[in-house]
Structure 1
Amino acid sequence: MYFPINKLEYICIQPDEPLTNIVESIWMVKNHSDEEKEGIIVPDGKIDLFLLADENGNFEIFVSGLCSAPITKPPFPKSTMFAISFYPIAAEYIFKQSFADLNNMKKTFPTDYWGFSRDDLNDFNQFYHKTFKIISSLLSKEIDDRKKKLFKLIHASKGEITVKELEENVFWSSRQMNRYFHKWLGVTLKTYLNIIRFSNSLKQLKNGDFYPQLDYADQSHFIREVKKFAGVKPIILNKNENDRFIQFSLMPDK
């Protein structure tokens, strides 16, 4: 998928097997504007690895843990960002480290992390194929079927599934699932479900539909949850003045 949005150039690709249970997408954003403005990232239930370069020659590689609240992003004018959005299961199977301490935070890696370099930002197609090979090589053990099913059910249900339903379908106790989420991600299973449900509401909010389509108790509950995860009421999020909500700006209309 490719489309320019204002002064942002955006491409997003969903990977094929064997990465479909690990990687949600591989994408790039080129900011052609020289305007200095902050942005806001809202929770979407993913772990993201970024390669970022600006026109002054600065280059960094960093990872962001799960977000459970809106995060203010510093301005990146005249910059190129390539990114890999991972499902949370990647913490255990790809990064092989806990992200519990990186909730709403980022961690900077060496500029040769995983063999990447600034030169990889010259060609997105080559970056995609290189990324595919790297992550495939890092996936050194078979993913537990319970964990694959757990995340598949959560995302297929758009976060509407209950913890009890997950217990019954995955054959994993709520205590064990919560222990897993605490250990690797630093959030409860219920919080993660709420994040996924909120993230799946963004499309309708962009289209101007402020009445909950997912299983919120009522409109007041919906508004509270949007304020919790976006920091503003639905109508303010919909207006998205100055394109300050990054994911909202990159989302195609209709």
Structure 2
Amino acid sequence: MRYFTIQPPAELKPYVRFYWVLEHELGADEPSYIYRSVADGCTEMVFHYRSMFDELENKNGENAGPSGIQFQTTQYRRFITKESFGIFGAYIYPFAVPCFFNIPSSQTSNLAFDFDTFLNKPGTELEERVVLAADNYKRAEILSEFLIARLRQNMLKDDRMATAIRDVIHNKQYRTVTQLAGAYNLSARQFDRKFKEYAGFNPKTYMRLVRLQDALRQYNTNKTLTQIAMECGYYDQSHFIHDVKEFTGYHPSFYFSGKAEGTEYRNT
């Protein structure tokens, strides 16, 4: 399995965390591959340029899982393919959703659309250009041009909330919503409303999603589950277990065992 990231151009860096690529060749002893996406506070644009995945829903059947947009979500999803695959994606801050798509982030949470449904003809044309591009660096170039053109038409309206969301994701200095609201000179109620508009979830839920992603990045570090829980700010082991199970569908001991679906790329 091959996984790597590509940095966006300077104009997009405040909005796009990175582009990513996941490729895998199925062997004779591997008739299919199942990928499990987990809850995440960022939005992803995903392009399947080699083969397609079907979505597995509650073990009752398969539905098409085409290229498209998965907005910030508290849910996990499962996909299967029986062919070797290549996927190109963009990992986007939630506050960039209004800039790129002219819709409040609070109206997109837990939603996913194919490009044709969400963006109509421009989405169909974008998907075709990205999928048919010569390589992943050309894909990054094409998508960057598309996003920059949209950004220039619809600039961010509240940079303060963008900074607050970045603080939650990157700085880790605020452990409570009250602390975070105080840092931006807003009451907890005012902050909750504004934050949700740009993050898609209220601050408490969003901080849980970020804490989960922090924990999952400790995969393959040889740390104990207790160490991971403490370093990522969980109150106790039961709190850690509850969130990991809710947002990934797995008990932490199994997720971090190396046997869970969709974790293979973390070893690359």
Give the TM-score taking structure 1 as reference length: 0.82
Query: In 2 relative to 1, CA 72–218 (structure 1 residues): closer, same or farther, beyond 3 Å?
Result: same
Q: Distance in 2 between matches of 1:126 and 1:63?
A: 20
- The amino acid of 1:228's aligned partner reads E
Query: In 2 relative to 1, CA 159–41 (structure 1 residues): closer, same or farther, beyond 3 Å?
Result: farther
Matched, 1:174 2:167: no
Query: In 2 relative to 1, CA 15–171 (structure 1 residues): closer, same or farther, beyond 3 Å?
Result: farther
Name the counterpart of 1:108: 114
Name the counterpart of 2:72: 66
Matched, 1:187 2:183: no
Preserved CA contact (<8 Å) 2:115 2:127: no
Query: In 2 relative to 1, CA 100–73 (structure 1 residues): closer, same or farther, beyond 3 Å?
Result: farther
Matched, 1:230 2:236: no
Name the counterpart of 1:249: 264
Q: Distance in 2 between matches of 1:182 and 1:76?
A: 39
- 1:128 corresponds, among 101, 120, 140, to 140
Name the counterpart of 2:21: 28
Q: Distance in 1 between matches of 2:51 and 2:169?
A: 37
Q: How many angstroms does 1:181 deviate by? A: 4.9
SS of residue paired to 1:30: strand
Q: How many angstroms does 1:129 deviate by? A: 1.7
The percent of aligned pairs where both chains have the same amino acid is: 21
RMSD value over aligned CA atoms?
2.8
Query: In 2 relative to 1, CA 76–147 (structure 1 residues): closer, same or farther, beyond 3 Å?
Result: farther
- Gaps spanning 5+ residues in structure 1: where? 1-7
Deviations 1:36-77 (A, max 9, x none): 232211123111111114448x99431012221322223363
Name the counterpart of 2:44: 48
Q: How many angstroms does 1:252 deviate by? A: 4.3
Preserved CA contact (<8 Å) 2:32 2:83: yes
SS of residue paired to 1:168: helix
Name the counterpart of 1:4: none
Preserved CA contact (<8 Å) 1:65 1:104: yes
Query: In 2 relative to 1, CA 48–161 (structure 1 residues): closer, same or farther, beyond 3 Å?
Result: same
Preserved CA contact (<8 Å) 2:18 2:92: yes
Q: Distance in 2 between matches of 1:27 and 1:70?
A: 19
Where does 1:135-146 land on structure 2 (aligned, <5 Å)? Answer: 135-140=147-152, 141-143=154-156, 144-146=158-160
Query: In 2 relative to 1, CA 151–145 (structure 1 residues): closer, same or farther, beyond 3 Å?
Result: same
SS of residue paired to 1:66: coil
Preserved CA contact (<8 Å) 2:38 2:247: yes
Name the counterpart of 1:5: none
Q: Distance in 1 between matches of 2:166 and 2:105?
A: 20
SS of residue paired to 2:91: strand
Q: How many angstroms does 1:18 deviate by? A: 1.9
Deviations 1:79-134 (A, max 9, x none): 22111111101211111124546544421122751742445333111111222222
Preserved CA contact (<8 Å) 2:174 2:180: no
- Gaps spanning 5+ residues in structure 2: where? 53-63
Where does 1:148-159 land on structure 2 (aligned, <5 Å)? Answer: 148-158=162-172
